[in-house]
Structure 1
């Protein structure tokens, strides 16, 4: 069908001047303002509309050029109201019906639950909500319920109990932590299989903002609240892998990353320097490199196709899982029973597949689900949102100077090209963390999505309770289990 075919064309008044306004089948509004031909695209630029008297007001987001806002310009995005007046009541109704139908056909959300974390990052989430989120949602005629989170795991509690039929999506105005809590809350529900399909939106308002950066960077957009909210309003969706971390009967659902070693130590131990702001990470990274730690341990993994050359074959051993706990043993031919996700179990015979092993010591082990760990750290440049694999980044022994160079390259992802880094994709993974090589009485931290999963003896705040013990854990990944609002 001809996308330029006219749906409606009629005389209207714009700024008091009578002109012809045309709406095409593809959703393009065009008119002549006397000096030039102007246009708006409903999908990209129109957020919503209202009728005031005899005029229709379109709420738009357009580009700013040379300090003045104009439709079709080039530059930063700004909100702008565009008004036109049909010449009769019947024309007014026709135009409003046609625009409403076109907006409705785009599949945009109509009702949202917005969770705001006032404590995360620089504690700016409430300001971001008031300045960027609420005005744009109002312009788009989206009804929303805003709720502040008041304590850790509050968002998880909300997601596990709310009536999801009331909403078309859940929006997290925070760093990555609230998103992770929501995913874990949805996965705990009795109706988890449908609940986890609820579209989730992320508005960057925290310290890391890795998910928002990963989403917006796919289309070259800056990691700002405005662009993130636009992605939610426009309603485009994409699937997201969800990793299940298992230890005995305990499980945690991860959507960003798992870290052990250097990266986990920097992420968690730098909390003591929060007064430094974002500089705390760089400062503490330098401190940890100067006083470098290495950890004993073993990694077992099932490599993705094309990555079979990594690691060593597990000669004469097989894996066996009882419940959620996996061990390896000398005899062959035993199938692995892996709990895939939620309340559903699945037996998968992995014995005949190419399980590999890498022995320590290790400087850092990092599993990633999306490319960016934070706004300035591209941890896994080849990571995909829904490829069914996790990207594994391993740093073994290397010089402090080489390690410093690697950390500098984290902002563009070039660290994975270093001969001191192993970078591959895996389908399943088992971590057996050990003690520090220089001091066997001290162990490390296992960090997932910014939360401490486990603290070993002698680790930072080791006496604080954590979800898991510092021991063997298993990770599997379910392809495309969750859904995100996305720019594309």
Structure 2
């Protein structure tokens, strides 16, 4: 074993019985090392099953055990053990002290976490998942976690707003064990608290910038969709997410705020949708007793009803194009086209919409495994705004089928029915506000519901909703995936990793 202190990298070389080096070696950076112990632990399928106290009185003579993380395929992370045996006890203690001190110098490793668990989300297994799959990893890494079981809606929000300053400043990260709804509540409460402490008005949509919360965010996917955690890690595997939290992985994520005039409604770090997707979520709330399959049932019901909503979408591009954009004509009457009203945004489109979808991140989920918005990123400073006008039921079914089977890239041939733009802010004005409540076309003033990170947000009939992006506002426990990497288009069984040769290295190399 050799240690490069400058690069903080350990190199393990497997030796023959006579001390001659073999070709089998592995480099392990301290970024991937979870812990260093004097006593071994039991691993089953790359995960700890029994963790005893690392007591020096019961340690293994002349040996240290290094537990490091490794990708077993494109997405899944697990733990491996390297047992290093020394010739003398003095040599062992010297190496152990050097390695332990180097590990403690990693300032980005979390030491204190606040964990919120929704025991009722998804299949109701969040508490069991945390105790069996997450807590042992935190114990192994020496992470202190304060656990709170949520008892009602907004419980997490109220707790964070009332948290005393001493505890607030001691937290390194906030972890939600549940679905996208719980994470959205954690996100809103933390971002709002950070702005209050820095005397910034988050309700002002024209504010120059918001304050980044000092703590990072993590999700253990125990809900029905788990879209955010799947987007960041490429999988909703709970152990993989826990490993990234324990080793302190970090990536910056864009966040969008939703405003109704001078009122802040929500903070979003996932997808905002109106029309078909919003109605599916609203309808599924009536069938919670069915579990996750309620989404498929509500999707069939909503497809049969085929709702469309009249309104106007106005938006500002994140980067101005070389040539002006061309839209189909707006449905009359359009005050902006007629010149009787001005708009703060550069572009607008007024029509009957089947879908209005804004993606802050690529949005991977069980329903969109190949990304709903594959061309956007976690922290690229833009949102993808997709608009689909009124189409037939068959055309809508084709769109949904292509998204489910091929992702957003499969919709490129549907240029006539799909309009996608990269925006920094946008506004939706409902039909009732455009035409008035007493219009002779009552179907034009029907209001749908928004699907905002898995939460229902009713569309007010007399107010426009405004959406603004705040680039890289939060930090997340994860490492952004390169979705253009060809490995992400292959199944797990086609991705071969280096075979494990041995977990024992003898006689450290000088």
TM-score range, shorter chain: 0.7 to 0.9
Whose helix fraction is larger, Structure 1's or Structure 2's? 2
When normalised by structure 2's length, the TM-score is 0.73
In 2: Cα distance, 1:362 partner to 1:414 partner: 21
In 1: Cα distance, 2:382 partner to 2:25 partner: 46
**For each residue in 1:92-128, what CA deviation from the matched residue of structure 2 results, as whole angstroms up to 9, or x when unmatched?**
3321222223323443222221221111111111121
Give yes or no for the alignment of 1:483 onto 2:496.
no
**Which residue does 1:280 correspond to in 2?**
294
In 2: Cα distance, 1:237 partner to 1:45 partner: 13
In 2: Cα distance, 1:135 partner to 1:396 partner: 50
Q: 2:325 aligns with which of 306, 309, 316?
A: 309
Relative distance call for 1:374 and 1:147 in structure 2 (3 A) is: same
> Which stretches in structure 1 are left out of the alignment for 5+ residues?
1-20, 65-72, 319-327, 333-349, 457-468
Once the two structures are TM-superposed, the CA of residue 78 in structure 1 deviates from its matched residue by 4.4
Give yes or no for the alignment of 1:131 onto 2:132.
yes
In 2: Cα distance, 1:239 partner to 1:176 partner: 18
Once the two structures are TM-superposed, the CA of residue 398 in structure 1 deviates from its matched residue by 1.7
Q: 2:33 aligns with which of 31, 37, 46?
A: 46
Q: CA RMSD in A?
A: 3.2
**Which residue does 1:109 correspond to in 2?**
110
**Which residue does 2:181 correspond to in 1?**
177
Give yes or no for the alignment of 1:474 onto 2:466.
yes
In 2: Cα distance, 1:135 partner to 1:245 partner: 38
In 2: Cα distance, 1:74 partner to 1:427 partner: 32
Once the two structures are TM-superposed, the CA of residue 29 in structure 1 deviates from its matched residue by 3.6
User: Is the Cα contact below 8 Å between 2:431 and 2:446 reproduced in 1?
Assistant: no
In 2: Cα distance, 1:284 partner to 1:356 partner: 34
Once the two structures are TM-superposed, the CA of residue 248 in structure 1 deviates from its matched residue by 2.8
In 2: Cα distance, 1:259 partner to 1:160 partner: 28
In 1: Cα distance, 2:398 partner to 2:462 partner: 30
**Which residue does 2:44 correspond to in 1?**
none
User: Is the Cα contact below 8 Å between 1:208 and 1:373 reproduced in 2?
Assistant: no
Give yes or no for the alignment of 1:198 onto 2:215.
yes
> Which stretches in structure 2 are left out of the alignment for 5+ residues?
39-55, 199-209, 433-438, 481-510
* Larger displacement relative to structure 2 (157-166 or 242-251): 157-166
Once the two structures are TM-superposed, the CA of residue 247 in structure 1 deviates from its matched residue by 0.9
User: Is the Cα contact below 8 Å between 1:59 and 1:140 reproduced in 2?
Assistant: no
In 2: Cα distance, 1:144 partner to 1:245 partner: 31
Give yes or no for the alignment of 1:187 onto 2:191.
yes
User: Is the Cα contact below 8 Å between 2:111 and 2:143 reproduced in 1?
Assistant: yes
- Equivalent pairs, count: 416
Give yes or no for the alignment of 1:210 onto 2:227.
yes
Relative distance call for 1:440 and 1:195 in structure 2 (3 A) is: closer
In 2: Cα distance, 1:305 partner to 1:158 partner: 40
Q: 2:408 aligns with which of 410, 413, 417?
A: 413
Give yes or no for the alignment of 1:30 onto 2:12.
yes
Relative distance call for 1:329 and 1:122 in structure 2 (3 A) is: farther
Secondary structure of the residue aligned to 1:439 is: helix
Once the two structures are TM-superposed, the CA of residue 84 in structure 1 deviates from its matched residue by 3.3
* Larger displacement relative to structure 2 (97-106 or 36-45): 36-45
Q: 1:289 aligns with which of 298, 303, 308?
A: 303
Once the two structures are TM-superposed, the CA of residue 77 in structure 1 deviates from its matched residue by 5.1
In 2: Cα distance, 1:357 partner to 1:409 partner: 27
Once the two structures are TM-superposed, the CA of residue 39 in structure 1 deviates from its matched residue by 3.7
Whose strand fraction is larger, Structure 1's or Structure 2's? 1
Once the two structures are TM-superposed, the CA of residue 62 in structure 1 deviates from its matched residue by 5.0
In 2: Cα distance, 1:24 partner to 1:77 partner: 24
Give yes or no for the alignment of 1:232 onto 2:245.
yes
Relative distance call for 1:487 and 1:286 in structure 2 (3 A) is: same
**For each residue in 1:384-416, what CA deviation from the matched residue of structure 2 results, as whole angstroms up to 9, or x when unmatched?**
222222211111122211211111122322353
Query: Taking CA–CA contacts closer than 8 Å with sequence separation of 6 or more, which of the two structures ends up with the larger relative contact order?
Result: 2
**Which residue does 2:428 correspond to in 1?**
431
Relative distance call for 1:310 and 1:387 in structure 2 (3 A) is: farther
Relative distance call for 1:74 and 1:151 in structure 2 (3 A) is: closer
**Which residue does 2:436 correspond to in 1?**
none
**For each residue in 1:310-361, what CA deviation from the matched residue of structure 2 results, as whole angstroms up to 9, or x when unmatched?**
54899x988xxxxxxxxx99477xxxxxxxxxxxxxxxxx95xx61110111
When normalised by structure 1's length, the TM-score is 0.76
- 1:115-154 equivalences under 5 Å are 115-154=116-155
User: Is the Cα contact below 8 Å between 1:313 and 1:355 reproduced in 2?
Assistant: no
